[in-house]
Homo-oligomer: A and B are copies of this chain.
Amino acid sequence: MSEQKNIQNLKSLSIDHDSPVPLHLQVEKILRDMINDPEYQNGKFLPKEVDLSKRLGISRNTIRQATNRLVQEKLLTRKKGVGTKVAKKQVETKLSNWVSFSQEMHAQGINFRNYEIKVSKIKADAEISEQLEVKEGQELFKLERLRGLDNGPFVYFVSYFHPRVGITGNEDFERHLYDILEHEYHTIPVLSREQISAILANKFLAVKLGVPINSAILQRKRVVYDPGNRPIEYNIGYYRADQFTYSIDIKR
């Protein structure tokens, strides 16, 4: 009925039937944008499936393929016979345990700084491909950050983002990373699968972190997943072991 206007706004243009990107993923992207739109955040119903289908020129089945996932991520709620709308925001995480580095620091009232920030586009090698579950050679964004306190950097971070997330490279990476993901991209990390090991500083790390070669470095690799168990980010952190200890409480 009154949805017409918005449906027009749906950049149907952005659906590219010739793109190698499957339609259901393109639809998912569009839906995520809609979820972002304040218009739909006030409990207003999304266009109904049949309309979406017609307007985008995509079968209803394919539309549902996309919405199914978003429903699973609890971004959308559907009710039979009624409609689909954006889910009420979950009670903003009182994430006791894991938060991003800057949030950790922030919470402790510690002044952290970014010494270097670099964004680049790279092709996935074997390791990245395995961790992010993408094909080898897949293009994706790499984010490098050298961070620390006023007295100097103490961690060097390298992040790789799954293309699905839609990082453009123009984000303001001074902000909390997971803030960006959550609010700009509606990608909510709920699981972090971490592997921690010890290595010796090679020349590169030694220079970056300002330590002698062969110093002890705490290496933390982690893959961060969304509620649908899909990988979002593969992150490797190299910490000066003399200035950083990884702490965690494990309950059973």
Q: Is there contact, CB below 8 Å, between A198 and B195?
A: no
A197 to B250, CA, bound (A): 17
Q: Which of B96, B200, B245, B251 contacts A196 (CB 8 A)?
A: B245
Q: Taking CB as reference atom, which chain B residue is nearest A193?
A: B249
**Using a CB-CB cutoff of 8 Å, which residues 146-196 of chain A contact chain B?**
189-196
Residues of B within 8 A of A193 (CB): 247-250
Give the residues in chain B near A95, CB-CB below 8 Å. Answer: 250, 252
- Which of A3-11, A118-126, A214-222 contacts its partner? A214-222
| Chain B proximity of A188: nearest CB distance (Å) | 9
Residues on the B chain within 8 Å of A216, using CB: 197-200, 216-217
How far apart sit A22 and B197, CA to CA, in the bound complex (Å)? 44
Query: Chain B residues near A98 (CB, 8 Å)?
Result: 250, 252
**Which residue on chain B has the smallest CB distance to residue A93?**
B252
Return the contact of A229 from the options B72, B97, B214, B218 (Cβ within 8 A).
B72
Q: Is the CB of B214 within 8 A of A198?
A: no
Contact across chains for B241 and A199 when beta carbons are under 8 A apart: yes
Q: When chains A and B are docked, how far (Å) is the Cα of A194 from the Cα of B93?
A: 11
A228 at the interface (CB under 8 A from B): yes
When A97-B252, A250-B95, A250-B192 are in contact, do A197 and B241 touch as well, CB less than 8 Å?
Answer: yes
Instruction: Give Cα A191 to B72, complex, Å.
Output: 14
In whole angstroms, what is the CA distance A73 to B225 when docked?
12
Q: Is the CB of B246 within 8 A of A192?
A: no
A residues whose Cβ falls under 8 Å from a Cβ of B: 72-74, 93, 95-98, 189-200, 214-219, 228-229, 239, 241, 244-252
Please list the 10 inter-chain residue pairs (A to B) with the smallest Cβ-Cβ separation, ordered nearest first: A198-B198, A198-B241, A198-B216, A196-B246, A198-B218, A192-B250, A98-B250, A95-B252, A197-B245, A195-B245
